Amino acid sequence: MMNLLRLMSGRSGSAPVARERLQILLAHERGVGGSGAPELLELLRSEILAVVSKHVDLDPEKVVVKLDRGKFVSMLEVDIEVPNAAQRSKLVAAT
Amino acid sequence: MAKVLVVTSGKGGVGKTTSTAALGAALAQAGQSVVVIDFDVGLRNLDLVMGAERRVVFDLINVVQGVAKLSQALIRDKRLENLWLIPASQTRDKDALTDEGVRRVINELRTKFDWILCDSPAGIERGATLAMRYADEAVIVTNPEVSSVRDSDRIIGMLDSKTAKAERGERVEKHLLVTRYDASRASRGEMLSIDDILEILATPLLGIIPESQDVLRASNVGCPVTLNNTNSAPSRAYMDAVRRLMGETVPMTVPVERKGLMNRLLRRRAA
């Protein structure tokens, strides 16, 4: 019933958005003031950005470096969104 | 053996002082001897929420600086004889607290009480770090809202690195207390759900305190909510949380308001 009402009013819950924004932000911030190396993630991000930018035009905001802390191992996740036009030039650059 | 528990959050206004008073009173109601300490130097409020604001003579700073004896700063609750308060100073600034002084006061309290609850100020500065410094356990108070969850994450990082226990290679046991929770808004996807918060913060849940008018009503009259109306939804939630703190296994529920017949009829008509 609530779902039906929501569909009719054209609004949906904002909680999923809140959750996703938090997950991305905190993945970034963890380590600051905690036990990990404070600027490690920012350093990794800027160096990765510099290396890839040599070959591809990138939107710096679309480079996401995440570190998921686990009990025994942590997972470093690098997510780089490449625009389509630039992707072609990257392929050219690679060959 | 005495347990030192810090009630902290990073963000202000999420319910640290309300929760300290409610948990302290509920522990005392369960027969434990309890002291609650206000660490919010310059902006004390625990005395007001506990209804002891007119009985403050000496405060934590006086004891830390050796101006007053601990026994002079301890204020006994008028309703519960095993509940005590040490107020913060209203006039000094946070630099008046010293690490060594706080350690000495906490060690002395350990010999006299079962539970020592430290009400942390907001922020991550001296007052907040000293409130958590000698804690064995921590209650992290979080609202289902993005800024509160972010700040809680930061505080969890500090509990794991800046406390005396962490420096000895031990762990401060952490408990998450979600306050101002509205189950119906969460179920409609308008508010972060308990599962969302637990997934993000990865910290065991101590309790869920529902949003309720009883909380303001209790602070208006200067009475911990668990003492003011024992049967209200937030009271029952705090009491369940305290049973979990004492090691009992209590099923996790969100207590709801018990509506009278008239209320229910009116609600139905309105809906």
pLDDT of amino acid B268: 53
Q: How far apart are CA B134 and CA B121, in angstroms?
A: 15
Q: How far apart are CA A42 and CA A48, in angstroms?
A: 10
Mutate to test the interface with A, among B161, B190, B197 (most CBs of A within 10 A): B190
Digits of tens for pLDDT over chain B (271 positions)? 899 999 999 999 999 999 999 999 999 999 999 999 999 999 999 999 999 999 999 999 999 988 999 999 999 999 999 999 999 998 777 678 999 999 999 999 999 999 999 999 999 999 999 999 999 999 999 999 999 999 999 999 999 999 999 999 999 999 999 999 999 999 999 999 999 999 999 999 999 999 999 999 999 999 999 999 999 999 999 999 999 999 999 999 888 877 666 565 555 554 4
pLDDT of amino acid B188: 92
Q: What stretches of B121-253 adopt beta strand conformation (E)?
A: 137-142, 173-181, 205-210
Please judge whether A13 and B192 are an interchain contact, meaning their C-beta atoms are less than 8 angstroms apart: no
Chain B residues within 8 A of A22 when measuring between CB atoms:
146, 149-150, 200
Mutate to test the interface with B, among A19, A21, A74 (most CBs of B within 10 A): A19
Please name the residues between 24 and 63 in chain B that touch chain A, using a CB distance below 8 Å: none
Q: Of A16, A19, A30, which has the smallest distance from its Cβ to B157's Cβ? A: A30
Q: Is A19 within 8 Å of chain B by CB?
A: yes
Q: Of A14, A19, A26, which has the smallest distance from its Cβ to B153's Cβ? A: A26
Within a 10 A sphere around the Cβ of A5, how many other Cβ atoms? 10
Q: How far apart are CA B91 and CA A5, in angstroms?
A: 54
Q: Of B157, B161, B191, which has the smallest distance from its Cβ to A15's Cβ? A: B191
Q: How far apart are CA A25 and CA B131, in angstroms?
A: 27
The sign of the dihedral angle between the CA atoms of B244, B246, B247, B249 is negative
Q: How far apart are CA A19 and CA A30, in angstroms?
A: 16
